[in-house]
Amino acid sequence: MTTACEYKPGLEGIPAAQSSVSYIDGKKGILEYRGIPIEELAVKSTFLEVAYLLIWGKLPTKEELAAFETEIRYHRRIKYRIRDMMKCFPETGHPMDALQTSAAALGLFYSRRALDDQAYIRAAVVRLLAKIPTMVAAFHMMRRGNDPIQPNDNLDYSANFLYMLTERIPDPQEAEIFDRCLILHAEHTMNASTFSARVTASTLTDPYAVIASAVGTLAGPLHGGANEEVLEMLEEIGSVDNVRPYVEKCLKQNPKHKFMGFGHRVWKVKDPRAIMLQNWAEELFEKKGRDEYYDVAIKLEKVLVEEKGFGERGIYPNVDYYSGLVYRKLGIPNDLFTPIFGISRVAGWLAHWKEQLEVNRIYRPTQIYTGDHALSYIPMEERV
């Protein structure tokens, strides 16, 4: 018999899987992918190499990486029928809904569930990693009334995405910093969207449905959707002078007001990813000019962490706090910040999909029933 003491809202602190994909120490500020510190991978690796590491559990040899990159490059284009489907999406729709719909649509073409076939698994990994950036860029172009830009086979993964999105070849610094952002967002142990991916994977459905589940979960403002909300908050604050009045107003209205981009279930120090993103934002600002909202963000962090006691309570900026300021400087619109998070996290979701297939046990937790028992059906005329 399950007792109330075993129930933890949000499954806080409850292991939902055994995994070797990544590791976090929220107090020491450690994040490792397959045992390698994120700080090393972010500056020494590339997103596709990290995706290979996460999914197949080892750094690829030169030949393995070259073959993987070639396969990805070959599969970047999306079927015209998916493109035609996307043309029917409302221009005002959110790109995360477009991404979730088009990711699921891939299953219409490749839904065989040969989950014990390594060739099927590899093909699904390649298709999802290769086509999801193209689908995000295609929706963005079409919602502005333009034809989608075809992938440029001369460009690597990150440069090609920026090219498809902005219609211009990015400079090396932009492509490099964007690739590092993708590395940073690729994996993060048992976050909500990864848990969603594992639950969906546990029913042995196809990988396209798994990714569609995870995309829908990531979209929420308490999860990946926070990066877009942070920019809206900074834009609402508007200036450094208005930071304190804004904070006072929010806390007066609701002492439990949740400031977007702050706090985390695991990180009780400043998220190391936020630190790196902040450094890369400053690298971009040196060359492209400072963003006025960066000063607002710095001031808000100082006021909340130092003056409002957030620091003492372990509430610090998380990965979503500074990422939008990097993307803005790369010419990316606010509502694409979360889809970009999704483009990256597909690597982690696929790693957990494969790991869950090896567990091969459907998720079916229990509950603590709090309702009534043995009630009688009430005829319509007697209802109030």
Minimum separation from the CB atom of position 224 to ligand SDX (A): 6
What is the separation, in whole angstroms, between the first and last Cα of the chain? 36
Q: Alpha-carbon distance 153 to 161, whole Å?
A: 11
Pairing of strands 30-33, 36-37: antiparallel
Residue 262 structure tokens:
């702050």
With the CA atoms of 146, 124, 97 and 277 taken in that order, what torsion angle do they form, in degrees rounded to the nearest 10? Answer: -90
Which of 49, 206, 228, 320 is in the footprint of ligand SDX by CB under 6 A?
320
Stretch that binds ligand SDX, among 97-105, 131-139, 204-212, 254-262 (CB under 6 A): 254-262
Contact 143, 89 (CB under 8 A): yes
Residues 220-249, one symbol each (x = binds ligand SDX by CB under 6 A, - = not), give --xxx-x-----------------------
Residues 168-207, one symbol each (x = binds ligand SDX by CB under 6 A, - = not), give --------------------x--x----------------
317: β partners: 262
Q: Is residue 19 a contact point for ligand SDX (CB under 6 A)?
A: no
Which of 10, 90, 172, 371 is in the footprint of ligand SDX by CB under 6 A?
10
Q: Which of residues 300-319 bind ligand SDX (CB under 6 A)?
A: 313, 315, 318-319
Minimum separation from the CB atom of position 24 to ligand SDX (A): 8
Establish whether 257 is a catalytic residue: no
* Identity of the residue, 105 or 315, whose beta carbon is nearer to ligand SDX in the bound complex: 315
Q: Which of residues 260-299 bind ligand SDX (CB under 6 A)?
A: 260-265
Establish whether 94 is a catalytic residue: no
Q: Is 31 helix (H, G, I), strand (E, B) or coil?
A: strand
Catalytic-labelled residue, pool 179, 206, 271, 320? 320
Minimum separation from the CB atom of position 320 to ligand SDX (A): 5
Q: Output phi, psi for 200, to 5 deg.
A: -65, -45
C-alpha distances in angstroms, 9 versus 50, 156, 219?
33, 43, 20
Please report, as a single letter, which amino acid is at residue 298: I
CA atoms within 13 A on the CB side of 278: 16
Residues forming the site for ligand SDX (CB under 6 A): 10, 188, 191, 222-224, 226, 256, 258-265, 313, 315, 318-320
